[in-house]
Structure 1
């Protein structure tokens, strides 16, 4: 009798062990399955994110980096070297010499310039202007050709004494002020590209600049200071060899996006903006700073008003530079750009602080 009880007890213990083991096995399996499911989801999510990042929204619809590299960058002497997001990093396929850069620019600048800016793009220039169809085109028109008489800047001394920052373009111009606070130009010599009033020159002097040269099509007379001088763009280009790698900084805000469109009496050149930037590369010292203010958004051309810089053309503009920071309007600190900034056509200006490499 006692032996029978003992057998039953042993069977009960064995059954209990089997039950516990089965429960633990199921729990572990579920736990492993949960971990595996989460890991799979994470990998899928990363791949989907990478896939989305590899897409640029263009006038032709979504295009991969590889497609844009093949059809936009490479035909224009650029290539992707880093698949950065949201702006790919490019390099020149063949880096243009400074002599070629300025000779090519002068050849176009000294060509026939029509009395009035053309209202439509000539067929022979269309692919170049629109990056082989990947850039949106909108029609608009201005004739702001420089007047034959000079303008006079005689308010610089008074502007220098104003305690609040004096800027152009409303709050958007504050980006220059804040960029110069974080990246000052103390005891430096630089030049400003395109300037209808001396607000950028004054901000540079207030930041500590030793001397500033204004490069502008409109003849400008400067009164009251020897720290600011004026030169016409063509004369500036002719003297490039004397000025090669001699400047510490350059600033341009809402100017270069117009280059080559004829609006201001400049020669028609689909790559006028890119050539301006390549000229800056030649004129800056190694490590020199370039404060570049241009409209951000989906790549577009408002002919003949201005260009909008998206993930394609902006990448081309930054070639040869290290991207240090981006400033936007009245934000006192640098901002982080996102893909959303380049999905829609916009006229808002961003200021990119770039360093020559």
Structure 2
């Protein structure tokens, strides 16, 4: 530290200094200079110490953004005590260490942040986009029964039920693509553009779908290009257009007929064709949107192959399509982890962590509030076992 003494040239100042010099012996003056030097040095050391403390704090607070380098990751993993955090499951509370060892690691993940209500994970060996789509195509070509299985095959039980940490109840549907629900009302898009959010939400037979409208209103899509997964009726597409989207591609199991007046803004592609041509779409989209779709993937309800990680595959596929920083508007049933077979999954703290891998969780929206809500652990598990609420979360690819 440098100390500058600046003296005014006035006679008073000169006189005072002269008097001080006559009255102060050299030893006293030297002692005062030593004190000033000590204080200055202490200030410098304190500043350096506080800077290191701030760096330490940044390393010790895990988040998706802070986990960048291997060195930081190692520090975070070493500092975590997963036995200090409990996770709410259908059979009571379990430590995050139990979940990490019995669920996440067997599924290829690992906890790097004891964040609430959803832990932060990394993948032990993240697959390439080529592998993600190749594996999906391989699964899709497996022969399927004429009717969806009414029970989870025993050899799949542990994988579907997260090694016993996901609840189970029966709720069976046969919505095979050849007999079940099929696309409709795509010729009414012009009419739907004049619908209110309540009318659009009603097309999905679920008021909770209004949460998608609120999310898109909170994160506007002005001049953005996006993709929608799993539409039966074009209500998500219309919401996107109403919130400024420039172009929207819909991926579906069935061919869709787009009205001529919207062909410059809307298009569609079959799921199989899309998987074969994925490289033409990789990292091309500013946003993706899906509501009440991901939770069905791999349960066989729609004639799709049984796949315990079908929903996780879908999330990896979506991530491959988004640009860095691209947004995902994701609507799924929230609650305590469970499967109502073969209807849908319910997402609690455990599976949401795997679903959110590779994304930063920005906000959560409900149907009863235009602004974002605080999805606490209490709110997530508030409805009890095998009960659920659809929310729409906004995620950002990282």
Shared fold (TM-score greater than 0.5)?
A: yes
After superposing the two structures, state which structure 1 stretch, 263-272 or 342-351, moved more. 342-351
Work out whether 1:355 is the aligned partner of 2:393: no
Residues in 2 aligned to 1:55 and 1:99: alpha-carbon distance in whole angstroms: 37
1:119 to 134, 145, 150: 150
Structure 2 matches for 1:65-144, cutoff 5 A?
65-144=96-175
Alignment gaps of 5+ in structure 1 = 1-49
Q: Does the alignment pair 1:154 with 2:160?
A: no
Whether the aligned pair in 1 keeps the contact of 2:231 and 2:252 (CA below 8 Å) is yes
Number of the residue aligned with 1:331: 369
Alignment: residue pair count: 308
> Aligned with 2:257: secondary structure?
strand
Q: Which residue of 1 aligns with 2:280?
A: 242
SS in 2 for 1:90: strand
- Which residue of structure 1 lines up, in the alignment, with residue 330 of structure 2? 292
**1:230: how far off?**
1.7
In the TM superposition, residue 170 of structure 1 has moved relative to its aligned partner by 3.3
User: RMSD across aligned C-alpha pairs, in angstroms?
Assistant: 1.8
Select 1:180's aligned residue among 212, 216, 229: 216
Deviation, structure 1 residue 347: 2.4
Shift in alpha-carbon separation, 1:53–1:202, aligned structure 2, 3 A: farther
Q: What's the CA shift for 1:57?
A: 2.3
Note the C-alpha offset of 1:348: 1.1
User: Structure 2: where are the runs of 5+ without partners?
Assistant: 1-80
Report the CA distance between 1:130 and its aligned residue: 0.6
How far 1:162 sits from its partner (Å)? 3.1
How far off is 1:93 after superposition?
1.1
Please show how residues 227-306 of structure 1 align to structure 2 within 5 Å: 227-306=265-344
Following superposition, the deviation at residue 219 of structure 1 comes to 3.0
Q: Aligned equivalents of 1:236 and 1:51: distance in 2?
A: 41
Matched, 1:199 2:232: no
Distance 1:161 1:342 in 2: 34
TM-score normalised by length of structure 2: 0.74
Q: Is the 8 A contact 2:359 2:396 kept in 1?
A: yes
1:189 is matched with 225
Q: Give the Cα separation in 1 of the matches to 2:197 and 2:291.
A: 19
Counterpart contact for 1:189–1:249, Cα < 8 Å: yes
State the distance in 2 between where 1:72 and 1:61 align: 16
Distance in 1, matches of 2:84 and 2:366, equals: 23
Separation of aligned partners in 2, 1:333 and 1:125: 40
